[in-house]
Amino acid sequence: MRRAVGRWLTPLVLLAAAAGVVAWAHHGADAAEAGVLATANLARRLREHVGLCAASTVLAVVAAVPAGVAASRPRWRRLGAGVLFVANVGQSVPTIAVLALAFSVTGIGFRTAVIGLWAYSVLPVLRNTVAGLGGVDPAVVEAARGMGLSPAQVLRRVELPLAWPVILAGIRTAAVVNVGTAALATFVGAGGLGDLITVGLDNQRDRILYTGAALTALLALAVDWALAVAADLTGPSRGNRRSSARI
C-alpha cells in the first residue's frame, strides 16, 4: 500500500516542482529574458527534448534487443563479445564527437541529434538483454523444450518474460541518460531544453540557465518514474498473479 502511494505521489511532486520552476522563471524576468522563458517557448523546447529522447531510445531498443537475442543464441554466442565491443565503442566516444561526425554526413537538425543519442544508448539495452537472457535458468528452458515448445516459442514464452525486468532496466538506464545527453542536441540545431542552457551561458542569464537545467533534471526523474511503473506493471510477478487469478 505504501509503495503504491509513493508511486502515484511522485508525478504529483514532479508536476508541482515543474510548476514552481516555471513560476520562478516568470517572476522577476526582465524584458530580455521574458521571450525565452515564455510558457509557449518552454513547452516547445520540452516537446523537442521529449521527441529526441523518445526517438533515440526507441531506435536503440529496436536495434539492441534483437542483437542481444541473437548474441545469446548458441549458434551466435561467439559473436556476442564482438557485438558488445562495437556497442561499447559507441558509448566510449564522447557524444559531442558523435554529433560532430553525424553532422558531417547528415547536416544540422533532428536526425543528426537522434543518431548521436542512439549510438550512446545502444549499449545499456544490449548489455542487459544479453545478461537477462543469459541469466535464465537452463533447467527452465529444458523443461519448456521437454513440453514440446519450439525454440521460438521458448524464447517468446519463457526466456523473454523472465529476462524482461533486466532488459527493462537497461532501457530505463538508456532513456534517463538520453534525457541529460539530449541537452547537447542544441549544438546541431535540434533544439530541446539544451537551448535554454546555452542561451543562459552565452548571455550570462542565470535565470534562463537554471530553468533549463531544472526542467531537464525533472524530465529525467519523470522518465525514470514512468519506466519504474512500467517495470512493476509488466514484470513476471504481475503475470503470475494474473495467471493465479484466472485459475
Query: DSSP readout, 200-241?
Result: HHHTT-HHHHHHHHHHHHHHHHHHHHHHHHHHHHHSHHHHHH
The overall average pLDDT reported for the chain is 87
pLDDT over 80 (residue 75): no
pLDDT over 60 (residue 238): no
pLDDT in tens, 156-183: 999 999 999 999 999 999 999 999 999 9
Residue 246: pLDDT band (50, 70, 90) is very low
Q: In 3D, which of 216, 215, 103, 237 has the Cα closest to residue 164?
A: 237
Which of 181 and 87 is assigned the larger pLDDT? 181
pTM of the model: 0.87
pLDDT in tens, 92-109: 777 788 888 888 888 888
How many CB atoms neighbour CB 164 within 10 A?
17
Average pLDDT over residues 218-231: 94
- Domains of the chain as residue ranges with CATH: 2-239 (1.10.3720.10)
Cβ–Cβ under 8 Å, residues 162 and 140: yes
